[in-house]
């Protein structure tokens, strides 16, 4: 209950719209563009077994993008949640001969997806309404596919500068 003075106007009530449930997208990309874009259904989570299944799909995507070339020599950068560091995940990575780029804990400033990839689509989606999750996912997928190759290349090249700043600052936070 709210108390107010009788001479004040009646407060307007706004219609509250229920927001859609969050959608988890997994995006694997490299200097030339997106390799794999995978959508989890609402309520689904990533565990080590699912992450390994995603690696199988990623390997297939690499083979499609780079036909005739081996998929070893891949350097994967991901952060440190449990599914990424689990023994099962390490075994999958060893099976493919993929290397993990070390990632200091709590360092979003060193992950190109965090500082380069996620901001632009958020701005792209601002003010847009979608009828369902599939329409939203399709819009983001098309947006990513239409990005110029320099978008991804710039992110990869900026890693060197960011890592050097982190080293120079003895591991302290690097914003830009």
State the alpha helices, DSSP H only, in 23-148: 48-65, 82-85, 87-96, 112, 119-125, 133-145
Alpha carbon of 77 to those of 4, 35, 63: distances in Å?
56, 14, 19
The CATH H-level superfamily of 24-123+144-168 is Ribonuclease H-like superfamily/Ribonuclease H (3.30.420.10)
- Whole-angstrom distance, CA of residue 100 vs CA of residue 8: 63
What pLDDT tens digit does each residue of the chain (176 aa) get? 566 677 777 766 666 666 556 778 888 888 888 889 988 887 788 899 999 999 999 998 888 877 766 667 788 888 778 888 899 999 999 998 888 888 777 666 777 777 788 888 888 888 888 888 889 889 989 998 888 889 889 888 888 888 888 788 877 766 65
- Residue pair 98/91 in contact (Cβ under 8 Å)? The answer is no
Longest dimension (CA), the chain: 79
Q: Are 29 and 50 in contact (CB under 8 A)?
A: no
Residue from 88, 95, 53 nearest 74 by CA? 95
Domain edges within the chain: 24-123+144-168
State the DSSP string of 28-58. EEETTEEEEEEEEPTT----HHHHHHHHHHH
Structure tokens at 159: 């890693």
């Amino acid at each position: 209950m709210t108390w107010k003075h009788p001479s004040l106007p009646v407060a307007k009530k706004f219609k509250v719209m229920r927001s859609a449930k969050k959608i988890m997208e997994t995006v694997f990309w490299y200097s030339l563009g997106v390799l794999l874009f995978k959508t989890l259904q609402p309520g689904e989570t990533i565990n080590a077994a699912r992450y390994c299944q995603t690696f199988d799909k990623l390997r297939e995507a690499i083979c499609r993008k780079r036909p005739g070339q081996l998929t070893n020599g891949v350097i994967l950068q991901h952060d440190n949640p449990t599914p990424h560091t689990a023994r099962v995940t390490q075994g999958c990575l060893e099976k493919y001969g993929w290397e993990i780029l070390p990632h200091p804990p709590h360092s979003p400033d060193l992950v190109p997806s965090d500082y380069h990839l996620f901001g632009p689509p958020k701005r792209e989606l601002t003010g847009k309404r979608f009828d369902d999750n599939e329409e939203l996912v399709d819009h983001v997928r098309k947006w990513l596919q239409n990005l110029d190759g320099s978008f991804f290349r710039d992110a990869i090249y900026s890693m060197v500068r960011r890592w050097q700043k982190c080293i120079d600052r003895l591991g302290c936070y690097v914003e830009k």
